Amino acid sequence: MAFQNILVPTDGSEYTKAAVIKAVELAKMSGGNLTALYVLDQSILTNMPMDTAVMNVYSTLEKEGKAAVDFVKEMGEKENVPVEVMIKDGAPVKVILEQSKNFDVIVMGTLGRTGMSKLLMGSVAERVVRASDCPVLVVRASEVENQ
């Protein structure tokens, strides 16, 4: 199976940067292209009163998302790998799974949830692996750091 269409979900954290590096390598080897996906997780906003503070948080998330996908674009340009960017609103697992039918493979890091958040939410990567329509390559940050 050729991995021509590669999805790389990113939250801009160190955890996903490792996956971005692997995704760019895979795209270069296969002559494929990358789509960088950032999901604006609005569940963070649901417990806040609707006022200017929420708009500031949303604006900050949008900026983080743009920075996250721009990092993927820059890494792709360095290796002459075409990168499309996609910023979507929603729950990360749901959005990634909806997109999985459009791709040959998903390359993702273990997203930066830790502690109580991970305990309550579960691992995004783990949930994507279980339900994805395409193969999923999960990259731990340490796999890239040790090279």
Mean pLDDT of 121-143: 83
Domain containing 124 equals 5-145
pTM comes to 0.85
Mean of pLDDT values over 22-48: 87
Q: End-to-end CA distance of the chain, in Å?
A: 27
Please write the tens of the pLDDT for every residue from 36-85: 999 988 776 666 666 666 677 778 888 989 999 999 999 999 999 999 99
DSSP helix/strand/coil, 127: helix
DSSP string, 55-123: HHHHHHHHHHHHHHHHHHHHHHHHTT--EEEEEEES-HHHHHHHHHTT-SEEEEE--S--HHHHHHH--
CATH number of the domain enclosing 135 = 3.40.50.620
Query: What per-residue confidence (pLDDT) applies to 31?
Result: 94
| Selection from 38, 58, 44, 17 nearest residue 121 by Cα | 44
Give the strand order in the sheet containing 33-40: 83-89, 33-40, 5-9, 105-109, 136-139
| Amino acid type, 117 | S
Count structural domains, the chain.
1
3-state class of 140 per DSSP?
coil
Give the phi and the psi of residue 18 in degrees, each rounded to 5.
Answer: -60, -40
